Amino acid sequence: MLMETILVTPLIGMGDTLMTTPALRLIKTRFPDWKLTYFTISHSNYELLKGNPFIDSLWYYPLKSAGILNGPLHILKNISGKYSTSLTFYPANRVAYNLFALLTGAKKRIGHTYLHRNLTQLNWLKNRTITEDPNAHCVEENIRLLSCLGITCEKNDIPPMEIFLTQQEMEAGRSFREGIGAVTVVGVHAGTSTFKNQSKRRWPKERFIELINRFPDYRFLLLGTKEEEDINRFIMSNAADEKHITLVGNRPLRETIAIIGQCDAFVSNDSGLMHIAAAMKIPTLALLGPTNPAFIYPWRTRHKLIRTGIECSPCYYYSPKPLSCVRHIDYRCMTEMSVETVEDGLMELMESKKKAKV
């Protein structure tokens, strides 16, 4: 097969970006001479991929803030015509992704066709496609997409998600854990992205307080971005005992990743940090409502999914349409999730971890 020069087009979410990493390993393992460039438009995704040995060139350009003319001009000047293939991973059902792929000038523009709003989002601008599978995990969708490059892989052989920290970064995470001095440390992400109304995926912050209060012997780490500091401070200031809570705060992403990697378990809404915990092989309790668990469950790590079982859940599908409560019942799939159910889930997860060590 002829050598490919591949440009991976950008995704916005950290979790979405992280779920492309198994495919990167497969590409470079099967065809080590192929040149793979990964284009990112957010600094967090750049930090997430930094040090990945399966990327030949990692590119960061803040396309969203560059302006309506500067962005396309940057692509045309620096990218157009320089790659044989553009690879648009899943999920990318938006006009902007498809226009980006077109502007690359790549002869092969690989991506998905979607079951919703496919034509209006210009997915027909791609010329090598597979149709999305509503029952497949995002990681699986990205592996399936590699069939357009002649690469196939059985599900059981799909690699885990990967983050490549330096030895110094890992040591800093261990030092943080040692400084806490607790026997059992549980990471908590009570936030989510706010993009496209995704804040509605959050379990009520008051429930996180109740959950923490039920485990006085655990040390809980509150993690999140600057925009989630208010939630974390609310939880900390209203908990029964602040002494078993540590506010990690808005630290650099790779420092946060190293700290997550030292947790005994992780409790999270559907978020990028949930996928980071999975990539670090941390047992993960995922609190899911509108999003389809088949798409985004914590990949290749011990996990438990908590859902209410409301019949209209999941309702969200990948498109530019913001998240909305289709039944107009005020996101009961999240608000009616009981503390008792989450408590039982965390206890079960911790027990399964103990048994695995025996």
Q: Which pLDDT score, from 0 to 100, does residue 67 have?
A: 84
Q: Which pLDDT score, from 0 to 100, does residue 358 have?
A: 54
Reference 357, options 302, 307, 317, 319; nearest CA is 302
Shared domain check, 202 and 295: yes
The model carries a pTM of 0.96
Question: Is 306:341 a contact under the CB 8 Å cutoff?
Answer: yes
- The last residue of one of the domains, among 110, 130, 157, is 157
> What's the domain count of the chain?
2
- The last residue of one of the domains, among 101, 127, 157, is 157
Q: What is the rounded distance in angstroms from the CA atom of residue 159 to the CA atom of residue 26?
A: 8
Residue 152 counted as domain residue: yes
Question: Is 71:39 a contact under the CB 8 Å cutoff?
Answer: no
Please give the helix or strand (H or E) that residue 219 lies within, else none.
strand 219-222
Shared domain check, 271 and 344: yes
Q: Which pLDDT score, from 0 to 100, does residue 1 have?
A: 61
Please give the helix or strand (H or E) that residue 111 lies within, else none.
strand 108-113
Which residue's structure tokens are 């946060």? 256
Shared domain check, 338 and 201: yes
Helices and strands, number each (H, E), in the chain: 14, 12
Helix (H, G, I), strand (E, B) or coil at 297: coil
Amino acid at site 358: V
Residue 162 counted as domain residue: no
Shared domain check, 177 and 134: no
Shared domain check, 73 and 25: yes
Which residues face 285 on adjacent strands? Answer: 267, 304
Q: Torsion-angle region of residue 167: left (phi > 0), alpha (psi -120 to 50) or beta? A: alpha
Shared domain check, 219 and 327: yes
Shared domain check, 346 and 238: yes
Shared domain check, 68 and 211: no
- The last residue of one of the domains, among 103, 133, 157, is 157
Q: Per the omega criterion (within 30 degrees of 0), is the bond before 293 cis?
A: no
Using CA of residue 21, residue 201, residue 219, residue 211, what is the dihedral sign? negative
Q: Please give the DSSP secondary-structure letter assigned to residue 134.
A: T
Amino acid at site 289: G
Please give the chain's pLDDT, 358 residues, in tens. 678 999 999 999 999 999 999 999 999 999 999 999 999 999 999 999 999 999 999 999 999 888 888 999 999 999 999 999 999 999 999 999 999 999 999 999 999 999 999 999 999 999 999 999 999 999 999 999 999 999 999 999 999 999 999 999 999 999 999 999 888 999 999 999 998 899 999 999 999 999 999 999 999 999 999 889 999 999 999 999 988 999 998 899 999 999 999 999 999 999 999 999 999 999 999 999 999 999 999 999 999 999 999 999 999 989 888 999 989 999 999 999 999 999 999 999 999 877 777 5
Domain that holds residue 290: 167-357
Shared domain check, 203 and 104: no
Shared domain check, 144 and 255: no
CATH of the domain at 35: 3.40.50.2000
Shared domain check, 248 and 137: no
Shared domain check, 29 and 127: yes
Q: What is the rounded distance in angstroms from the CA atom of residue 295 to the CA atom of residue 272?
A: 14
Tell me how long the chain is: 358
Residue 57 counted as domain residue: yes
Reference 75, options 59, 58, 93, 54; nearest CA is 59
